[in-house]
Every structure is written in C-alpha cells, then in structure tokens.
C-alpha cells in the first residue's frame, strides 16, 4: 500500500476554522470518489504549533505507485487541484510512502 501525504498552508483568507472545515469536507468528498483511491483522511491542526505551519493534512491511500500515478493525472483529481485547491493554497508539500507491515 502507498500513502501520499500532502500538507497545505492556506492563503490568509482561508486560515479560519470554517474555511478549514469546508476545505476538509470538499477534499474528502472529491478525493474519496476517485477510482484508484482506497481511502482518504483529512486533518486540521490539533495544536497551535501545528497551526502556525500547516492548515490541512491529507493522507490518500493507494494499492500501488501505478495507482497513485493514475490518480495524479485523473481528470477529476486535476479539476479538484486546479479549480478548487490551488486558488486557496499558499504552500503545498507532498510525499509518498510505502506502508510496511
């Protein structure tokens, strides 16, 4: 299993509890619906130190790196990224990890 971990720092106008909650709900709904995604977890900062650096965390799970690569170019994923997420994001960091048993 592959986990893609993405952290977002939102633009100032989206750095509030209501905007984070809306972003989290939209992210969970849009990404969970994609064919190659096995699961999505969306988080918001749990403490002040985390909130100073990041506003949203996403963990998307895939069966393989091929599935993750398909997800990256999926038109529905591109629409979410290009039309919804990117206009709200100041900084994005992403990493892929293989889950070990």
In 3-state terms, what secondary structure has residue 91? strand
For the stretch 69-89, pLDDT in tens is 999 999 999 999 999 999 999
Q: Which domains does the chain have, with CATH numbers?
A: 2-96 (3.30.70.100)
For the stretch 46-77, pLDDT in tens is 998 888 899 999 999 999 999 999 999 999 99
Per-position b or e across 8-28, b if 16+ CB within 10 A of its CB: bbbeeebeeeebbeebbeebe
pLDDT exceeds cutoff 90 at 36: yes
pTM, two decimal places: 0.90
In 3-state terms, what secondary structure has residue 49? helix
Confidence of residue 15 (pLDDT cuts 50, 70, 90): confident
CA 96-28-34 angle, 5° bins = 70
């Amino acid at each position: 299993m592959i986990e893609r971990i993405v952290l977002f720092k939102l633009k100032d106008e989206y750095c509030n509890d209501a905007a984070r909650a809306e972003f989290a709900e939209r992210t969970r709904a849009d990404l969970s619906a994609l064919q190659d995604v096995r699961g999505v977890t969306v988080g918001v900062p749990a403490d002040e130190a985390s909130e100073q650096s990041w506003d949203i965390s996403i963990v998307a799970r895939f069966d393989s790196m091929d599935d993750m690569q398909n997800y990256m170019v999926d038109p529905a994923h591109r629409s979410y990224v290009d039309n919804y997420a990117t206009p709200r994001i100041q900084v994005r960091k992403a990493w892929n990890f293989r889950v070990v048993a």
